[in-house]
Amino acid sequence: MTSEATIVDLHCHSIASDGTLPPAEVVSRATANGVEILALTDHDTIAGLDEAYHSANDNGIKLIPGIELSATWQGKLLHIVGLDIDPEFPPLKQGIQILKDMREERAIEMGKRLARAGFSDAYENARRLAGDGNVTRTHFARHLIEAGVAKDFTDVFKRFLVPGKPGYYRVDWVTMEDAVAWITGSGGVAVLAHPMRYMLTASWLNRVLIAFKSAGGEGIEVVCGRNSPDDNARSAHFARKHGLLASQGSDFHEPGKWVELGKLAKLPDGMDPLWLRWNQQ
């Protein structure tokens, strides 16, 4: 059986979205780091799950099929992690197709904007870096760093890829309610990812969480990748206040540049860990 001491990482990325490792390597790296339960949660795609499953079998690690959906609620961007989803559930598959089309149109628009700012071929390069997968802002960031335009991710996002900057193009994605319904309808659990990263006031976050819960959301990431200890404590407060289960994940994308798979702070006291439902058969 699992316990709170089990090493659990329920949020990470592979080359199927904006990570740099193939799904099989994400799984073997997690295993080497001692992770016992891992969820692969690529942005708006399930394309990495088959490979991850095979690797999880070989490595003897429990893999939870996951996804991180891009959504909006009242104009606010939210990331909704779906865990233990059925990737074959038709409404979820249709939702993923909608998001894929939105991402492609958005990438083309971002490319046009960057071209007007003097950076030609940004779309083509981001598209190349994304391979068969969805283009994300991370792919544009990697290209602009490679091209010597910016020195690192922090620099490139701040100067080009956030609201008000030349490469930013606003997209409303899908509604939070739809994203949650596709996840829960498939038999999965919907989790609000990294609640401290949206820069919402406490009253806005409370409103988001009330709406999220009434849509069928059950969990909130309490411990996640780049959280400070204070972020973890504040997230725990919101979990308690709204009666949400606690999730945790590294949000790993790339060795060296992100928090490592499985290397997470301890969950604050008084939380209900969401993963206790998954035993390790």
Binding-site ranges for ligand AMP (CB under 6 A): 18, 43, 70, 136-138, 153-154, 157, 253
Map the footprint of Mn ion across residues 195-254, applying CB under 5 A. Answer: 251
- 196 C-beta neighbours (distance < 10 Å), count: 18
Q: Are strands 174-175 and 62-73 parallel, antiparallel or unpaired?
A: parallel
Residue 115 or 168 with smaller CB distance to Mn ion = 168
Looking at 10-18, 57-65, 101-109, 205-213, which segment touches Mn ion (CB under 5 A)?
A: 10-18
- Which residues is 80 bridged to in the sheet? 69, 192
Q: Which H/E stretch holds residue 220? A: strand 219-224
Tell me the per-residue interface mask from 68 to 87 with Mn ion, x by CB under 5 A, - otherwise.
x----------x--------
> From the list 6, 10, 18, 31, which residue makes contact with Mn ion (rule: CB under 5 A)?
18
Q: Which H/E stretch holds residue 247? A: strand 245-249
Tell me the per-residue interface mask from 165 to 194 with Mn ion, x by CB under 5 A, - otherwise.
----------------------------x-
Q: Nearest-5° angle of CA 241, CA 246, CA 248?
A: 140
Partner in contact with 137, chosen from Mn ion, ligand AMP, none, beta carbon below 5 to 8 Å by kind: ligand AMP
Q: Nearest-5° angle of CA 230, CA 233, CA 234?
A: 85
- Which residues is 30 bridged to in the sheet? none
Contact between residue 9 and residue 252 where contact means Cβ atoms under 8 Å apart: yes
Which value, in Å, is the radius of gyration of the alpha carbons in the chain?
A: 18
Partner in contact with 157, chosen from Mn ion, ligand AMP, none, beta carbon below 5 to 8 Å by kind: ligand AMP
Partner in contact with 70, chosen from ligand AMP, Mn ion, none, beta carbon below 5 to 8 Å by kind: ligand AMP
Q: How far is the CB of 145 from ligand AMP (least distance, A)?
A: 10
Interacting residues with Mn ion (CB under 5 A): 18, 68, 79, 193, 251
